[in-house]
Structure 1
């Protein structure tokens, strides 16, 4: 993975004249197209004052998980912990919400605006044990820079 190249392309998307929603969708589409093991890419955001996340832009198979309560699944746990969560094998997680039988691993990185966790990027892969520090670095970069348009 060429992280520098991917970051430069993300910068172009974020600084484009497009609307916020279009930029987020473009990030999802770009990541899913560029990284072979990113099989589902999406953004979840805090749903108003409720203690739940609501699915926003995404690419990949349809999901029934459009609302996720805080604390449930990997995304819900990140909403509470405010920390990155990498699951190399979802079958080893007790508090996992299955998005489909194909999903083998997941990485979720929170997005902060003014110190508040307002959402996250969620990546599912059909390959187990696939995520590395490079994925974490790239996704942290995306979350940090996406926060500027949110």
Structure 2
């Protein structure tokens, strides 16, 4: 496994390889928890300079902690609260350069400085979010956003 940006390869090529690895890991498995667990582990190995990678799953009007890699996290997040809850309620990706500037940010890990959250949408409904935190500000860019959105679309084939 490689870390993004750790080789001379083009970042887009690295993301393409990541999606191929995702499909290879999930193509014969139907269990949602197993697939989300492997997806979070794959992303955690792929990225450098991150301190939390995981999923929150929709349950009623809140998100509940799902498979993840990192320190213990908040278990329940109401829709509309924090970065994850706002992403879920707005059904759009949020890329936050400085989480301390985000109104209502929920600090599960004080080391987190920036965050990207991608909603997982199936049949028009949010079934959860992918959440990735970094201990450095402005860690995620447009290339990350576009490719993580594509990663989630690919993942949704197996959820």
Which residue in 2 is equivalent to 1:46? 58
Q: Which runs of 5+ in 2 are unaligned?
A: 1-10
Q: Deviations over 1:85-107 (max 9, x none)?
A: 01011111122001122100000
Counterpart residue number, 2:154 = 145
Aligned length: 147
TM-score normalised by the chain length of structure 1: 0.91
* 1:19 paired residue among 31, 38, 44: 31
Q: Does 1:78 align with 2:87?
A: yes
Deviations 1:42-82 (A, max 9, x none): 111111xx21111111111111x111011110011011111
Q: Please report how far the alpha carbon of residue 18 of structure 1 lies from its aligned counterpart in structure 2 after TM superposition.
A: 6.1
Match of 2:71 among 34, 42, 61: 61
Aligned equivalents of 1:77 and 1:41: distance in 2? Answer: 18
User: Which residue of structure 2 lines up, in the alignment, with residue 37 of structure 1?
Assistant: 49
CA shift for structure 1 position 149: 2.2
| Native 8 Å contact 2:71 2:109 kept in 1 | no
Q: Runs of 4 or more off by more than 3 Å in structure 1?
A: none
Is 2:17 the partner of 1:5?
yes
Answer whether contact 1:7 1:138 (CA < 8 A) is retained: no
State the secondary structure of the residue aligned to 2:157: helix
Counterpart secondary structure, 2:88: helix
